[in-house]
Amino acid sequence: MAVKEKPSYCAGMVRRLDRDRFLCTLFAPPERREALFALYAFNLEVARIPELVQEPILGSVRLQWWRDTIAAIYEGQPPAHEVALALARAVADFGLTRGYFDRLLEAREFDFAGAPPDDMEALIAYAGATSATLNFLALEVLDAGGGSDARADAQDAGRDVGIAWALTGLIRAIPFHLRAGRVYLPASLLARENLRAADVGAFSPALGRVVEDVAGSARGFLASARSLERGAPDWARPVLLPGVLASSYLSRIERADFDPFDLGIEGGGLRRQVRLWLAAAGGKI
């Protein structure tokens, strides 16, 4: 009888803490999955820092550790850390661009700012520098050729899916972020509705209008990604599939009248898997 192979450390971490990306990664070629899991585990490491520290300065120290670790990886001397070692293998195997790591880590400093983004443009810039940049790295892992036009379309679609995914995730995470004293809804939209960050702790029609604007922006990026997807190569699909799930989550948010505290905005696991399989089979996000 065959012995079932134990999942790698990074695969197990992503499966527990980022189930949606884990499911999407299963559509990647087997020989590229571990590199994707390493990227997504790295993303979890830096995204979860605010959950693990009490003071912003300590968060900056942890981010600096990852900056130093990325530098060490590119110098061929990664530290004895399971995610760092897996990331070093991915960098070596696929020639990943260091600047993307630097951009992502720089953007994560905002998580310790203690204030919401100034406006929608600032929130989109944050989503782009974090989620879209992660997609650029994943596309480098998946890149199976096809010419510069195909690569450009894959990157453009990956960027828009990444931004839509981040905006949708930030809506879904509003209750969680509030418990940590963080608000990612744009200050200009809150001010328009005569809301302060402190007023976000309970649903109101005014808060619903702010959430609706953020959700509308996410929908716009998804629509753009769908138009770009036509020129994207098949190998980019695992990076684009989160767009399917973002669309589903946004529909649930809309049905809940843009109330982020409504538990109905979360979808069931089986339903997510079915949506992904159908999207992968039909070639559409």
Q: Structural domain tally of the chain?
A: 1
Distance from C-alpha of 148 to C-alpha of 250, rounded to nearest angstrom:
32
> In this structure, is residue 3 part of a structural domain?
no
* Helices within the chain (DSSP H only): 9-17, 19-25, 30-47, 49-52, 56-74, 82-94, 98-107, 120-127, 133-142, 148-172, 174-179, 187-192, 205-229, 237-240, 242-255, 269-282
Q: What is the residue range of 53's domain?
A: 10-282
Q: What angle do CA 126, 130, 134 make, to 5 degrees?
A: 155
> In this structure, is residue 2 part of a structural domain?
no
> In this structure, is residue 257 part of a structural domain?
yes
Enter the tokens of residue 280: 């992968």
Side-chain half-sphere exposure of 114, counting CA atoms within 13 A: 6
Distance from C-alpha of 129 to C-alpha of 110, rounded to nearest angstrom:
11
> In this structure, is residue 43 part of a structural domain?
yes
> In this structure, is residue 221 part of a structural domain?
yes
CATH number of domain containing 246: 1.10.600.10
Sequential pLDDT tens for the chain (285 residues): 444 567 899 999 999 999 999 999 999 999 999 999 999 999 999 999 999 988 889 999 999 999 999 999 999 999 999 999 999 999 999 999 999 999 999 999 999 988 999 999 999 999 999 999 999 999 999 998 878 888 999 999 999 999 999 999 999 999 999 988 899 999 999 999 999 988 899 999 999 999 999 999 999 999 999 999 888 999 999 999 999 999 999 999 999 999 999 988 876 666 777 777 777 776 677
Distance from C-alpha of 234 to C-alpha of 220, rounded to nearest angstrom:
23
> In this structure, is residue 1 part of a structural domain?
no
